[in-house]
Structure 1
Amino acid sequence: MTTPQKPVLSPFSAASTATEVMAGVNLAGHLAVVTGGYSGLGLVTARSLARAGAQVIVPARDPDRARKALAGEEGVSVHGMDLIDADSIQAFSAQVVGRGQPLSLLINCAGVMAAPLARDVDGHESQFAINHLGHFRLVCGLWPALVAARAARVVAVSSRGHQIAGVDFDDIDFIHRPYDKWAAYGQSKTANALFAMGLDQRGSGQGVRAFSLHPGQILTDLGRHLSSAEIAAFDVFDEHGQQKVAPEVGLKNLEQGAATGLWCATSPALNGKGGVYCEDCNIAPVNDAETGRKGVASWAANPEFAERLWSISEEWTGMSL
């Protein structure tokens, strides 16, 4: 049954923190994988899951950096993996599945934003290749372990940036149109939301539910490709050079930013639900009023687009569930 893209009763809000969302959550005996789990939102997410008792695996393009960031965290292990490298994703997935342990949670935090034009070895634009195709490959590779959990959740960290652009199915890779780093980012974030819809449609019958979300506007290493002028335009700093925290308008700290993803991963309010885009620890409404608004654009909550994207992803990766 399709889950309505409408808010549910939730005790949490835009200001809620990871600590508040995870209070009383017991993940002992559960295995989780967190991409990007060694910086920014991913680091808070990995730590929160581990402190709730989960065994957490963090795949990392830079394992040494990841191990330094996660030093001292019990229950967390780091393994090499690069989301733009299909072979490394396959090797990592085989390693996890080979453990013979069900995978209860997969939280996809890793990504790039507004990067200069680059392509993977198959010629696909890098933001789409990393943010979407890499995670698509990962889910396909980990599928046996997810199904084995019988009640797994896959969480795709999208962004309000999806409102910039839908998926241009006629020219995803910017072959015929001029490259625009923000359009490419928006397209990849729309793909994250559509991916969750497509995955939930396929996985719900086997106990695998999927969600996407906007974490909030938080300046992290994700903004490494931005100029000082571009960062200033976001108006995220106060007069003292400190990041503003005003969750009611989307400006959050890391603890608040990680809360919605953790809510998607663990909340009993979402039992029996899936395929929806969430925000501020709740299911977001559909809203096409203007860019930068709260809510999900209709093009990122369209089941026909989700199916079209799924078919393309299978064709381009040569993988399926």
Structure 2
Amino acid sequence: MSAQHKIGSGFGHDSTADDVLAGIDLTGKLAIVTGGYSGLGLETTKALAKAGAQVVVPARRPDAARELLGDLAEVDELDLGSLESVKAFAERFLASGRSVDIVIDNAGIMASPETRVGPGWEAQFATNHLGHFALVNRLWPAISAGAADGGARVVSVSSTGHRRSDIRWDDLEFRLGYDKWEAYGQAKTANVLFAVQLDALGKDSGVRAFALHPGGILTPLQRHLEKQEMVDFGWIDEDGNALNPAFKSPEQGAATQVWAATSPQLDGLGGVFLEDCEVAEVSSDEAPGVRPYAIDPAAAERLWTVSAQLTGVNAFG
């Protein structure tokens, strides 16, 4: 029986990261939040630190991150589009001898112009999925050590954008023609499938994984979009003001990933897709929820195998 059903969390669309952390003490816990210095990542870092966690923020722009975060978090350098950078960060962290209780794969890019990174990979798939895949696998010794101390969680920040595309098994790299939104959709589907397979592989070690849609929020994630495109979508007006009443504040947008990372309501669960601080229902139409192809165990296993081949990294190989 699928666990992909609502559990009655009591939280919802308007809940904030502070709301879901009420009464939760994270003292002694260590969290790694990629991109934790901008947009939802910044609000996530603030909330976790406020609850007592030690937060490590690997950042593509470490100087900017340090300026924004001050003493709120430990900052290190990480470019998810570079496997060498991922390896270097992981080695530095593992050398510190610390265990990890929470990993939030928050950083990402959306609807970018066609860009190639590494050995020619499409940038959205490479940055949003492959970089995080390699990071978590390389950090696995520290994550499994954290699990031994009472459980660890890995949170993969996806989006309803996963509905735009299944995995393009015959053309992962968009060699046959590039569409920025389809590429984003594939990357977000990959984020969900990653959590499904990681949970299957890690749960016996005490590591549970979740994927989620944070909600619609105006953040620097939209940096690749033209203003007129967002006006046409009905997101903003001609003056740049938010129009869509369903949009969230950054504090609300960070809530679901913080809930995924910390809530005792999710104890015993894993490999499920969340939205609005709740387990989502499966949906095959325009209704809210997660598409069946994004939580398919066979597809998740297949993507894991492909990702391990591409990155040369597999903690479970």
- The match for 2:101 is 104
Mapping 1:1-321, distance limit 5 Å: 4-73=3-72, 76-150=73-147, 151-175=151-175, 177-237=176-236, 241-244=240-243, 246=245, 249=246, 251-290=247-286, 293-321=287-315
Residues 128 and 185, structure 1, Cα contact 8 Å, conserved in 2: yes
Report the 3-state secondary structure (helix = DSSP H, G, I; strand = E; otherwise coil) of the residue aligned with 2:308: helix
Report the 3-state secondary structure (helix = DSSP H, G, I; strand = E; otherwise coil) of the residue aligned with 2:302: helix
Deviation at 1:160?
0.5
Residues 118 and 126, structure 1, Cα contact 8 Å, conserved in 2: yes
Q: 1:256 to 1:245 in 2, by over 3 A?
A: farther
CA distance in 2, matches of 1:163, 1:207: 30
Report the 3-state secondary structure (helix = DSSP H, G, I; strand = E; otherwise coil) of the residue aligned with 1:213: strand
Identity of aligned residues (%): 51
Task: Report the TM-score when normalising by structure 2.
Answer: 0.95
- Where do 5+ consecutive residues of structure 2 fail to align? none
CA distance in 1, matches of 2:154, 2:5: 19
Deviation at 1:238?
5.8
CA distance in 2, matches of 1:307, 1:239: 45
Report the 3-state secondary structure (helix = DSSP H, G, I; strand = E; otherwise coil) of the residue aligned with 2:12: coil
Deviation at 1:22?
1.1
Deviation at 1:71?
2.0
Residues 31 and 102, structure 1, Cα contact 8 Å, conserved in 2: yes
AA of the residue aligned to 2:99: P
Tell me the matched-pair count.
Answer: 312
Task: Report the TM-score when normalising by structure 1.
Answer: 0.94
Q: 1:265 to 1:232 in 2, by over 3 A?
A: same
AA of the residue aligned to 1:259: A
AA of the residue aligned to 2:224: H
CA RMSD of aligned residues (A): 1.4
CA distance in 1, matches of 2:226, 2:158: 22
Deviation at 1:184?
0.2
- Where do 5+ consecutive residues of structure 1 fail to align? none
Q: 1:127 to 1:239 in 2, by over 3 A?
A: closer
Q: Which moved more, 1:35-44 or 1:86-95?
A: 86-95
